[in-house]
């Protein structure tokens, strides 16, 4: 990496290259994503060096105290002994591209960790927007509160993000795996609101589920792409997990077109959970 690129500070040059890489890998087409990934310093949110960085081509993690090594599409450990990491940037970029946060919108971010993706969301919704970041782990929440001070649009809530009440929101984005759409998330959505979270089985594998509230009681839904996440505390149910695992084994994910609450399933049901189901029919 050169020390200077057209007079640009070397660290900022790394961030610009990283932003281009991450957004390209995500297959995203929103130029704002490149701007926010380049603007937010990732090292601020990773804790003190040395950092444990997971490189796909290496059999064991790399340990580094050089912030340049953070500017690749790599997982970085936050709490290594508990397998808590910062998440793969390209996956979150793809999620943001699907959600399309707009200036002035309100976001609920569940599972904020140390705050990196909450800061990116704050950049996307701008000074007129609001991000409510929820983190249940006390140590991570304390770190996030300190890390997010330069982003006054973010309010850190050191508690569970699955319990009522939650603020009314245009977007609910969860960064931990749930076996079902949580009622509190659905109830927080404004008309036209979007919910995106990892719908995961008992082993943490699954897919990102995007639910959009078309009008009261009518939800469009799509399974976007596969994902593996740590569990969301309070959003796990063994029966829901088993139903999802069976559906993923036997049905193409592309069939999912809508989400239904509190109605008896019909023949279009793709996966039937407790009080909810995914359907292959168009949202009515």
Specify if 104 maps to a domain: yes
> Which pLDDT belongs to residue 29?
85
Share of the chain above pLDDT 90, in %: 89
> Which pLDDT belongs to residue 91?
97
pLDDT in tens, 66-97: 999 999 999 999 998 888 999 999 999 999 99
The total number of residues written for the chain in this structure = 284
pLDDT in tens, 221-253: 999 999 999 999 999 999 999 999 999 999 999
At residue 5, does pLDDT exceed 60?
A: no
Query: Please, which pLDDT band fits residue 8 given cuts at 50, 70 and 90?
Result: low
> Which pLDDT belongs to residue 4?
45
Specify if 34 maps to a domain: no
At residue 34, does pLDDT exceed 80?
A: yes
pLDDT in tens, 122-137: 999 999 999 999 999 9
Query: For the stretch 236-262, what's the b/e string if a residue is b when 16 or more beta carbons lie within 10 angstroms of its beta carbon?
Result: beeebbebbbebbeeeebeebbbbbee
Whether the CA torsion 189, 190, 191, 192 is positive or negative: it is negative
The domain of 262 spans 81-279
> Which pLDDT belongs to residue 211?
98
Instruction: Tell me the CATH number at 240.
Output: 3.40.50.150
Whether the CA torsion 195, 210, 105, 36 is positive or negative: it is positive
60-to-43, 71, 85, 232 alpha-carbon distances in Å: 21, 19, 15, 26
Query: Please, which pLDDT band fits residue 56 given cuts at 50, 70 and 90?
Result: confident
Q: What is the mean pLDDT of the chain?
A: 94
> Which pLDDT belongs to residue 2?
42
Specify if 116 maps to a domain: yes
Structurally, the chain folds into a number of domains equal to 1
Whether the CA torsion 174, 179, 180, 183 is positive or negative: it is negative
Average pLDDT, integer, range 5-17: 79
């Amino acid at each position: 990496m050169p020390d200077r690129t057209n007079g640009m500070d070397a660290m900022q040059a790394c961030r610009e290259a990283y932003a281009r890489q991450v957004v390209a890998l995500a297959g995203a087409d929103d130029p704002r994503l490149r701007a926010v990934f380049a603007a937010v310093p990732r090292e601020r949110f990773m804790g003190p060096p040395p950092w444990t960085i997971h490189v796909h081509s290496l059999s064991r993690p790399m340990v580094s105290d050089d912030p340049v090594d953070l500017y690749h599409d790599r997982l970085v450990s936050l709490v290594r002994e508990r397998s808590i990491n910062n998440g793969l940037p390209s996956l979150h970029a793809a999620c943001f591209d699907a959600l399309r946060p707009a200036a002035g919108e309100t976001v609920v971010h569940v599972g904020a960790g140390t705050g990196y993706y909450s800061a990116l969301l704050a950049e996307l919704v701008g000074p007129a927007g609001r991000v409510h970041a929820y983190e249940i782990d006390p140590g991570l929440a304390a770190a996030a509160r300190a890390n997010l001070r330069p982003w006054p649009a973010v309010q850190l809530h050191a508690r569970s993000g699955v319990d009522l009440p939650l603020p009314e929101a245009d977007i609910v984005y969860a960064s931990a795996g749930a076996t079902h759409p949580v009622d509190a998330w659905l109830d927080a959505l404004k008309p036209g609101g979007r919910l995106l979270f990892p719908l995961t089985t008992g082993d943490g594998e699954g897919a990102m589920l995007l639910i959009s509230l078309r009008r009261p009681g009518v939800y469009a839904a799509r399974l976007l792409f596969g994902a593996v996440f740590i569990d969301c505390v309070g959003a796990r149910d063994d029966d829901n997990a088993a139903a999802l695992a069976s559906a993923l084994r036997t049905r193409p994910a592309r069939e999912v077109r809508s989400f239904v609450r509190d109605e008896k399933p019909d023949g279009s049901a793709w996966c039937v959970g407790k009080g909810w189901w995914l359907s292959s029919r168009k949202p009515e």
